[in-house]
Structure 1
C-alpha cells in the first residue's frame, strides 16, 4: 500500500492509495533519489530518507523520522519503505550469512504477526508502538539496531468486537500446514472463544496459510531457532485452548468448577501445550490464595471471577511472549556500542476515537499529544529561524500549546494517571468512585468535561477534537501484576521456554503490596522516547487516509482536510 506524496515546507504528506504500487518503490527508484537534492525530484519517502541519511553523514548527528497519521493512513507501510531505503544506503555488499539490515527488515513480518490485527479502520493495524534505532559506523554502514516497543494492546487477546480480529498469529496458526494444526490440536478458528466473539475470520487479500510460512521464514532470519519457534506457537495454541475453559457454580458458596467435558479437554490440552500440571492449572483458575499475617487462606472464585482470572492468565502469557520476541530480535541483531550515529524511525499508533474508548485509547492519545507538541515546537522554531535568516519582516507567532492537556493526563500529582494509580491501590475503589473523583477534581478544567447523565464517562478536548472515554475497565487495565498462582504454575513448567517467560521474582518484590502500574510505566517509556527524539534532528512524514472505506481511487475531501487540520496544517495555517 503506498502513496501519493507532496511536501508542506519540508514535511512530506503521503496519501494511502490502498493498493500496491511496486514500481514507485523498487531499487531503480532508490537509485534515482540517492544523493538528489531535496525537492529536485517529485516528493517521495525516499527523498526524506536520503536527506536524513546525508544529514547524518555530513553533520555527524543523529536523526529521526517521525511517521504519524490516523489509524489506516499507512504508517507501518511507510516505515517499512524507509527502513528498506536506509538498508539500501547503509548495507554491506558481499557479506556472509545474515546481515544486520536483513534482520532489521525481517523483524517487520515477525512483529506484525504478533502485534498487528484487523480493526474497523485498518486491516493491518499495529496494536503497539515501535521505535527502530538503526546504528551506523563511521563509514555510514549499518552496524547494529535496536527495536523499542510501547504498550501492546493486551485486552485484544481476550476481547474482540465485530468486525475486528484478534492478533494475526492466531489465525495463521489455525491455517498452518495440517501436521502443525494437528500437533497444536487446533482447527477451525470458529471453535475458539477468543476468536469467535467476532464473525470476521479472514482479511481481504490476505492468505493466512502463506503468512504463517512467511512468518516462520522471517523468524529464521532474525535468529529464532526452530525449537523456539515450536515453543512460541505452542504458547499461542495454549492461549486459544485456555479461552475455551468455561466455569459453572461449584458445590460451595461462591465457588466454581469446570463446566463440562469440553472444558476439561481444553484444560488438558492447554496444560499439555504449556507443559504444566493439569490439576495446578485448574486450581490456579478456580481459587485464589490470600496471604494474611496468620497464614494463607484459599478463597474460591465464583464462575465470573474464574473467567476473569482465566483471561488475566491469557493476557499475561501473551504480553510476556511478545516481549520475549522483541528481546530475542534485539539480541540477535546486536547493538553497536561504538556506533557513530543513529537514525530512529518512529511508527506509533495514530490518534484514536472509537464508539467505545478505553484505557488504551487514553494512552495512545497521550502519545499523540506529546508528538504534536514536539512537532509544533520544532516546526515553529524551524519556520521562524527561516524568516530571520531571509530577513523577512515578521512578528513572533504564538502557537496553540497543548501543555494543559498533557498536564491533565500525566502530571504528578493531580493528573488522571496518578489518580488512577491511587484508585488501583485502594481495594474499595471501583470505576464509579474513580470517575466521581475525576468529576470533582477537574470540574473547572477547560479540557475536561462530564457528558450529561454520565456515571463513568468523561470527555477530553484533545488537539484533534473531543474524545469521550469509558472508565469502566480502567482500573483492571492499569494493574500490571501477575497472580502469584499463575507465576508459580508457569515457573514450574517442564518447558524451559515457558518457565523463562516467568522467572522467579526476588523475595521482596513478590509481596502483594508491590503495585506496578501500566499507565506509569508507559508514561516513563514515553518520557524516555521524547528525550531520545530531542537529541536528534527530526524529519516528518504525515500519512493521510483518503477515505474511510479503505478502497483505492476514492478521495473524501472533508476527511482529508480534517486530518491535515489536526496535524500539519494546524501548525502551519495559524501563521
Structure 2
C-alpha cells in the first residue's frame, strides 16, 4: 500500500530517461520500460544490479525523477538553467563539472564550491583577480572572486555594509574560500599600514594563529576548524581598507576533554606533545590530560 506520495511535476512516460535512488551510488540513471498505474518499471543504464530484482526496479512514480536530456555534456554553470531542479539533477551537474575541474557553480546568486582535493594555483593568481575586477556577475565563470567583487561594488555604490556567508561541513573547503575572499578584497582595497605592513596582511597573517588554537585533526579532516569566525573588513569612502576585526565564537570545549590521544585534539597541543623534548610519546590518557589542562 502506498501512502503520502506526491505526484511528480512532469509526465513520466515509457522511454523517459530518469533518475532513481540507489543505496550505494545515491542516484543512478535509468529508462522507463513500463508503467502500470502508479508503478514504474525502470531499467538501469549502467547495467548494474539494483536492489533485489536484477537490473530492473519497480518503483512508485513519485520516486522517479526526470533527467534533463537537453543539458550540455559539460553541465551548466548556473543551476537555475537546469530544466529540472531536483536533487539528482543538481548532484549530477556538480559531478559533471567537478570532473572538468570546474569546482564552482552558481545557483542564482549563491555560489556552490566542491573541494577539488588538489592545488589549483592558476585559479587564484593575480591574473585571475584582474579578470574578475569589475566584471558583471555571471559574465565570467563562477568563482569566489565574483562573489567578493559583487559585495565590494554594492558597498561602494550603495554606501552600505555587505556580508558574505561561507558555510559547509568540515573538509568542504570553507577556510580556503574564506582566505580567497579576503585576498581578493585586499587586492581591491589594499593600502599600506602605518608601519609598512598592510591591514590586509595582518588579517591574513592571523589565520595560522587562529588555526593553531582553533583547528583540530578529525576522522574526516586533518585540519578541521572547530570554531566560527566573523571577519569584519572596514573600508573608507574611497574604497580602501582602513581597518579590520576578527571575532571567534562556538569554540568547542569538548575537544579538550574528549578525544583519542593525538587524533582529535587542537593542533597547537598536538604539536606541543609531539615535539616537546621532555614529553614521552607513549603517554597515558590521564597524563596527557593533566599536561593539556
The TM tier, using the shorter chain, reads: 0.5 to 0.7
* Structure 2 equivalent of residue 99 of structure 1: 198
Q: Deviations over 1:475-498 (max 9, x none)?
A: xxxxxxxxxxxxxxxxxxxxxxxx
Pick the structure with more helix per residue: 1
Q: Give 1:187 shift.
A: 4.6
Distance, in Å, in 1 between the alignment partners of 2:111 and 2:124 is: 16
Q: Which residue of structure 2 aligns with residue 8 of structure 1? A: 107
- Distance verdict in 2 for CA 1:3–1:243, change over 3 Å: farther
Structure 1 consecutive aligned stretches of length 4 or more whose deviation exceeds 4 Å: 93-96
Paired residues for 1:307-386 under 5 Å: 314=293
What does 1:256-335 correspond to in 2, within 5 Å? 314=293
Q: 1:48 matched to which residue of 2?
A: 147
Query: CA separation of 1:3/1:134 partners in 2, compared to 1, >3 Å: closer, same or farther?
Result: farther
**In 2, Cα distance between equivalents of 1:119 and 1:68:** 18
Contact kept? 1:87, 1:142, Cα under 8 Å: yes
The Cα shift of 1:59 comes to: 0.8
- How big is each residue's C-alpha offset from its partner over 1:104-152, in whole Å with a ceiling of 9 and x where there is no partner? 0011111011100111232221101111011111111111111111121
Residue aligned with 2:164, SS: strand
The residue matched to 1:120 in structure 2 has which SS? coil
2:289 is the counterpart of 1:243: yes
Structural mapping, 1:41-440, within 5 Å: 41-92=140-191, 96-161=195-260, 164-176=263-275, 181-182=276-277, 185-188=278-281, 190-191=282-283, 193=285, 243-244=289-290, 314=293
Rounded Cα–Cα distance in structure 2 between residues aligned with 1:21 and 1:78: 12
* Closer, same or farther: CA 49–174 of 1 in aligned 2, 3 Å: same
Q: Distance in 2 between matches of 1:149 and 1:93?
A: 26
Please give the alpha-carbon distance, in whole angstroms, between the structure 1 residues aligned to 2:111 and 2:193: 34
User: RMSD of aligned C-alpha atoms?
Assistant: 2.4
* Unmatched tracts of structure 1, length 5 or more: 195-240, 245-269, 271-310, 315-575
Query: In 1, distance between residues paired with 2:137 and 2:194?
Result: 31
Q: 1:172 to 1:3 in 2, by over 3 A?
A: farther
Secondary structure at the residue paired with 2:131? helix
Q: Give the C-alpha shift of residue 7 in structure 1.
A: 0.7
* CA shift digits 1:484-533 (9 cap, x unpaired): xxxxxxxxxxxxxxxxxxxxxxxxxxxxxxxxxxxxxxxxxxxxxxxxxx
Deviations 1:317-354 (A, max 9, x none): xxxxxxxxxxxxxxxxxxxxxxxxxxxxxxxxxxxxxx
Say if 1:46 and 1:173 are closer, same or farther in 2 by CA, change over 3 A: same
Q: Secondary structure at 2:246's aligned position in 1?
A: strand
CA distance in 1, matches of 2:284, 2:124: 40
How many pairs align?
A: 193
Cα distance 1:45–1:60, how it changes in 2: closer, same or farther (>3 A)?
same
Q: CA offsets, 1:44-89, max 9 Å, x none?
A: 0000001111111111110000011222211111111111111111
Query: 2:129 — aligned with what?
Result: 30
Please say if residues 3 and 14 of structure 1, whose CA atoms lie closer than 8 Å, have aligned partners that are also in contact: no
Deviation at 1:97, TM superposition (A): 2.6
Contact 1:72 1:121 in 2 (8 A): yes
The correspondence of residues 475-514 of structure 1 with structure 2, limited to 5 A, is: none
- Unpaired runs of 5+ residues, structure 2, are 1-100
Q: Which has the higher strand share?
A: 2
Partners of 1:187 and 1:22 in 2: how far apart?
Answer: 39
- Larger RCO (CA under 8 A, 6+ residues apart): 1
> Cα distance, 1:191 vs. partner?
2.3
Distance in 2, matches of 1:49 and 1:192, equals 48
Q: Please state whether the residue corresponding to 2:134 is helix, strand or coil.
A: coil
Evaluate the alpha carbon distance shift between residue 80 and residue 3 of structure 1 in structure 2; reply closer, same or farther with a 3 A threshold.
Answer: farther
Secondary structure in 1 matching 2:123: helix
TM-score (normalised: structure 2): 0.60
Q: 1:39 to 1:95 in 2, by over 3 A?
A: farther
Decide whether the 8 Å contact of 1:119 with 1:163 is kept in 2: no
1:454-533 equivalence runs, <5 A: none
**Structure 2 Cα separation of the partners of residues 79 and 45 of structure 1:** 9
Cα distance 1:60–1:67, how it changes in 2: closer, same or farther (>3 A)?
A: same
